[in-house]
Amino acid sequence: MASGTMSPTTAAGRRPLSTAARIYITGVTAAGGAAIALSLPGAYPWTPTATVALTAMVVVSLFKLRLRVGHARATMTMAQFVDFWMIAAVGTSFATTIAVAGVLVQCLINVRQPQPWYRTAFSVGVIALAVRAAGHTWSVLGGAVAHDGVTELVAITGAAVAYFVVNSGLIAWVIAETTGERPLECWRRRFLGAAPASLFAAVAVAIVRQSLMREDVSMAALAVPIVICYAIYARVTAVQ
């Protein structure tokens, strides 16, 4: 899990996808495409902030962890930290476009084996839906109009839960199809252990944002939560 971003890949011994699975993948891809289309008109103007965000997304997307899930594999990155930051700082539309850029980097650069275009399209669709779900949750919980740290913390934590459930849940279904597991069991066994990293990333975003507003911390401190979350993911990968 985008994001972290999660992207499914394949491995020898996988089961062929059923017709239902192919329809599901097409549906998720189409829904993600619609989410991206809705985001484009409201995308944030290209400014130094946008350049920094895109650069950060590319960097974290290049450092990915490969997670074995039975006969299939997934990759994880710490792109979610940037996703949450962009949702809180400039809104869901721009966060979606940046998240999509991160997934494209994750799927197309520094890969062990090239993926068919439709797998990349599916990954893009998943992350677009996950970021939109997170952004909607952020707004519903009052994050967009929050005037205190507690409200923002609650909103960003709720956004992280929505992001994680949508991102990991959509991918778990496809992986379950290739491994013969039940989708819920696949999600619980393969992805639930990564949930703390998503929550930590959200809490870190809230804390760092509040600290920056008070000028209590330098921008260099932003690297700390990313490193810690990456370590959590590394541990999750090691125990698979």
What is the structure's pLDDT at 220? 46
One-letter amino acid of 230: Y
- Residue 210 phi, psi dihedral angles, 5° rounding: -65, -40
What is the structure's pLDDT at 88? 86
Helix (H, G, I), strand (E, B) or coil at 63: coil
Asked if 115 contacts 9 with a C-beta cutoff of 8 angstroms, the reply is yes
15 — pLDDT class (breaks 50, 70, 90): low
Question: Taking Cα atoms as reference points, which of 164, 154, 167, 153 lies closest to residue 209?
Answer: 153
CA dist 223 to 32, 85, 203, 207, 219, Å?
A: 30, 13, 14, 13, 8
101 — pLDDT class (breaks 50, 70, 90): confident
The string of pLDDT tens digits covering residues 196-227 is: 778 877 887 887 777 666 554 444 455 555 55
Of the two residues 211 and 159, the one the predictor is more confident about is 159
163 — pLDDT class (breaks 50, 70, 90): very high
Whether the predicted pLDDT of 86 surpasses 80: yes
Q: Which helix (H) or strand (E) holds 74?
A: strand 72-76
- Provide the number of structural domains found in the chain: 1
Pairing of strands 65-69, 6-9: unpaired
What is the structure's pLDDT at 192? 83
CA 102 – CA 106 distance, rounded (Å): 6
For residue 151, give the CATH number of its domain: 1.10.1760.20
- Residue recorded with tokens 């379950």: 176
What is the structure's pLDDT at 230? 54
Residue 6 lies in a domain: no
- Residue recorded with tokens 């890949």: 9
One-letter amino acid of 201: A
Q: What is the mean pLDDT of the chain?
A: 76
Residue 8 lies in a domain: no
What is the structure's pLDDT at 158? 94
Exposure letters 80-93 (e unless 16+ CB within 10 A, then b): bbbbbbbbbebbbb
Residue 171 domain boundaries: 17-239
Whether the predicted pLDDT of 157 surpasses 80: yes
Residue 9 lies in a domain: no
What is the structure's pLDDT at 91? 86
Asked if 6 contacts 75 with a C-beta cutoff of 8 angstroms, the reply is yes
Residue 12 lies in a domain: no
76 — pLDDT class (breaks 50, 70, 90): low
Average of pLDDT values for 7-25? Answer: 66
Take residue 186 and report the two structure tokens written for it. 């696949």
Instruction: Please name the residues in contact with 94: beta carbons below 8 A apart, sequence gap of 6 or more.
Output: 39, 42, 43, 44, 50, 53, 86
Of 2-11, 41-50, 201-210, least confident by mean pLDDT is: 2-11
Of the two residues 1 and 145, the one the predictor is more confident about is 145
Average of pLDDT values for 231-238? Answer: 52
Take residue 141 and report the two structure tokens written for it. 């919980």
Instruction: Please name the residues in contact with 50: beta carbons below 8 A apart, sequence gap of 6 or more.
Output: 44, 94, 98
129 — pLDDT class (breaks 50, 70, 90): very high
pTM across the whole model: 0.77
Q: Give the chain's length.
A: 240
Residue 138 lies in a domain: yes
Quickly count: other Cβ atoms within 10 Å of residue 161's Cβ.
Answer: 16
